[in-house]
């Protein structure tokens, strides 16, 4: 079977690896892919938002299955478009993708179905914001309504900050929307919980904990993710039952009732307060870097799972996981998440001999000729799987030391709460 994978980050590198390992895959196209995927797939430099061009390429190359990595094309309706043109596409519909594409949509579903989430108000102007501020105490969280590439959320500690951030959003800083959601701050542990969903059922697809803050001990500004580990030790059967019963089931039921059933990966972003789960966000895709620590633990054929889901037969399969711990540490460009240099050579990578239990996934890299360069804020995801978080972290740090990329930095304390 010819397969196309859409995306170009670390998440797509590990997805590509799993597709490559599947007994069902023949030819893989990664659109646009990255230097990591170019070793196992054919990278195709197409603009992924040009659906018509994409369709032409897929038809010409007899692609029969498309897997979409990032949220952008899902929210724009790529799944609907390709399915309407008879190309099986894995990912939620445009309507269902609003769970991630619009915070106010997600919050309305919560309100209508009594799903536990932070108390909130959708605001269209300063007056709305002031009404919320009068009734609530700081810190307060301000979120742009539409997609904002991980930069749309600010935790505000005083009115001045709220005024600054809300003014930016109303002024159109995030082009996807001028609306915002303002909500109460929840104090607790974060958990990323994943499912694969079809029209009839769903299956657990891993848990992880992500470190979003740039600095050690989770200090400093938010980033796209500095590292993650899986499984999340905080998750137990009792908590999982609460997540499913109070949050996931009512959401999926609500979408079905609107005749818009959810399909694809579902990322449930939670904060656990005194043993009870609160929904912070839905993402309509795998997490990045969570995917890089979940997929190495998968012990079943990845494509067989995806195909079962497309055929709405997930209930018939069993998904097996390795009883192992996995961690990834993100190597970033110095300056990230602020300003950083691009196109800096990465010289040592091909000199490093990787053992079986260590993987390096490419995120922000590119080739110029046959030489590798940095091409973003998050460059490489050094990942390891083994018997304990302590052991895998040691292996990763040793590898990063060997790589010795002087223009980058990384957190040495990923997993500090569990090691």
Residues forming contacts to ligand GLY in the complex (CB under 6 A) are 210, 225, 283, 287-288, 290
Tell me how far, at minimum, the Cβ of 280 lies from ligand AMP, in Å: 5
Contact flag: residue 212 with ligand AMP (CB under 6 A): yes
Q: Which does 290 bind (CB under 5 to 8 A by kind): ligand AMP, ligand GLY, none?
A: ligand GLY
**From 30, 99, 141, 293, residue interacting with ligand AMP (rule: CB under 6 A):** 141
Q: Do 6 and 69 touch, CB atoms closer than 8 A?
A: yes
Contact flag: residue 417 with ligand AMP (CB under 6 A): no
Contact flag: residue 269 with ligand AMP (CB under 6 A): yes
User: Binding to ligand AMP (CB under 6 A): which residues in 76-135?
Assistant: 118
Q: How many residues does the chain have?
A: 419
- The strand pairing partners of 121, in sequence order, are 182
**From 281, 312, 352, 418, residue interacting with ligand AMP (rule: CB under 6 A):** 281
| Nearest CB to ligand GLY, comparing residues 107 and 121 | 107
Distance CA 193, CA 288 (A): 13
Tell me how far, at minimum, the Cβ of 230 lies from ligand GLY, in Å: 12
Q: Which does 83 bind (CB under 5 to 8 A by kind): ligand AMP, ligand GLY, none?
A: none
Q: Do 284 and 96 touch, CB atoms closer than 8 A?
A: yes
Side-chain half-sphere exposure of 226, counting CA atoms within 13 A: 26
Angle separating helix axes 126-135 and 159-170, nearest 10 degrees: 150
Contact flag: residue 186 with ligand AMP (CB under 6 A): yes
**From 145, 190, 198, 301, residue interacting with ligand AMP (rule: CB under 6 A):** 190
3-state secondary structure of 151: coil
| Nearest CB to ligand AMP, comparing residues 114 and 401 | 114
Number of residues that bind ligand AMP (CB under 6 A): 14
Tell me how far, at minimum, the Cβ of 210 lies from ligand GLY, in Å: 5
3-state secondary structure of 20: helix
| Nearest CB to ligand AMP, comparing residues 141 and 180 | 141
Distance CA 298, CA 306 (A): 13
Residue 363 corresponds to which tokens in the numbers above? 């995120």
Contact flag: residue 153 with ligand AMP (CB under 6 A): yes
Q: Do 85 and 92 touch, CB atoms closer than 8 A?
A: no
Residue 351 corresponds to which tokens in the numbers above? 């000199």
Q: How many CB atoms are closer than 10 A to CB 50?
A: 11
Q: How many CB atoms are closer than 10 A to CB 341?
A: 10
Tell me how far, at minimum, the Cβ of 264 lies from ligand GLY, in Å: 14
Residue ranges binding ligand AMP (CB under 6 A): 118, 141, 143, 153, 183, 185-186, 190, 212, 222, 269, 271, 280-281
């Amino acid at each position: 079977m010819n397969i196309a994978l859409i995306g170009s980050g670390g998440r797509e590198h590990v997805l590509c690896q799993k597709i490559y390992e599947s007994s069902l895959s023949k030819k893989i196209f990664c659109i646009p892919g990255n230097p990591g995927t170019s070793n196992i797939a054919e990278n195709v430099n197409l603009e992924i938002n040009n659906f018509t061009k994409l369709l032409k390429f897929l038809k010409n190359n007899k692609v029969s299955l498309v897997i979409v990595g990032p949220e952008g094309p899902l929210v724009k309706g790529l799944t609907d478009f390709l399915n309407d043109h008879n190309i099986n596409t894995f990912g939620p519909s445009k309507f269902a993708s609003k769970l991630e594409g619009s915070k106010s949509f997600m919050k309305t579903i919560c309100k209508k179905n009594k799903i536990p989430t932070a108390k909130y108000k959708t605001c269209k102007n300063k007056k709305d914001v002031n009404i919320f501020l009068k009734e609530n105490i700081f810190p307060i969280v301000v979120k742009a309504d539409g997609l904002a590439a991980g930069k749309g959320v600010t935790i505000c500690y005083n009115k001045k900050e709220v005024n600054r951030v809300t003014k930016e959003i109303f002024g159109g800083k995030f082009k996807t929307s001028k609306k915002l959601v303002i909500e109460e701050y929840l104090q607790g542990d974060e958990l990323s919980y994943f499912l694969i969903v079809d029209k009839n059922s769903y299956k657990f697809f891993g848990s992880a904990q992500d470190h979003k803050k740039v600095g050690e001990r989770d200090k400093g500004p938010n980033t796209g993710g500095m590292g993650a580990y899986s499984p999340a030790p905080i998750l137990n059967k009792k908590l999982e039952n609460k997540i499913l019963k109070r949050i996931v089931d009512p959401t999926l039921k609500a979408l079905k009732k609107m005749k818009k059933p959810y399909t694809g990966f579902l990322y449930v972003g939670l904060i656990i307060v005194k043993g009870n789960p609160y929904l912070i966000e839905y993402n309509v895709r795998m997490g990045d870097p969570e995917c890089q620590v979940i997929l190495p633990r998968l012990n079943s054929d990845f494509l067989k799972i995806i195909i079962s889901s497309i055929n709405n037969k997930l209930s018939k399969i069993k998904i097996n996981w390795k009883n192992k711990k996995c961690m990834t540490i993100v190597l970033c460009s110095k300056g990230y998440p602020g300003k950083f240099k691009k196109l800096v050579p990465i010289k040592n990578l091909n000199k490093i001999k990787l053992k079986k239990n260590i993987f390096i996934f490419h995120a922000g890299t590119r080739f110029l000729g046959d030489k590798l360069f940095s091409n973003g804020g998050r460059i490489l995801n050094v990942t390891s799987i083994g018997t304990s978080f302590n052991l895998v972290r040691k292996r990763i740090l040793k590898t990063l030391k060997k790589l010795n990329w002087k223009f980058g930095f990384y957190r040495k304390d990923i997993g500090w709460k569990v090691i």
